[in-house]
Amino acid sequence: MAETKRVERPLSPHLQIYRWQVPMLTSILTRITGNGLIVGVLLAVWWLLAAATSDDYFAVANAVATSWFGDLVFTGALWAVWYHYLAGLRHLIYDAGKGLDIPTAEKLGWACIIGSVVLTAITILLVQ
């Protein structure tokens, strides 16, 4: 039987090889913020159900929702809402066949990231 020569091949590419790019970051952020929105909605639903259940149970839920943890969750959920909104607008632009070149895609990605932070800060300032 003939012996086969083993060919040395590189391992599959991974994040040590790939350079971080804005479209990759925005794609990951879209998934993370989608899951973050679930956490914010669960906290809000728990708070509402506790309000409908009893005064004692509502006191516990309200203490959690108005604590630093609740503020962090609701602020993150607010940022996630704005980010998802802007990312949705960006995808509408993509669906129209516009902005698909790399420089425009990077600018739109930065617009989503920076715009969501700015809109979150404006919303917090207006609500307080």
- Interval 103-125: pLDDT, tens: 999 999 999 999 999 999 999 99
Domain assignment present for 107: yes
Q: Is residue 17 domain-resident?
A: no
Instruction: Report, in angstroms and rounded to the nearest whole number, the Rg of the chain calculated over CA atoms.
Output: 22
- The reply to whether 112 falls in a domain is yes
Q: What CATH number corresponds to the domain at position 71?
A: 1.20.1300.10
Report pLDDT digits (tens) over 30-55: 999 999 899 999 999 999 999 999 99
The total number of structural domains that make up the chain? 1
Domain extent for 81? 22-127
Is 61 part of any domain? yes
48-94 pLDDT, tens digit each: 999 999 999 999 999 999 999 999 999 999 999 999 999 999 999 99
Q: Which of 120, 38, 114, 127 is nearest to 79 (CA)?
A: 120
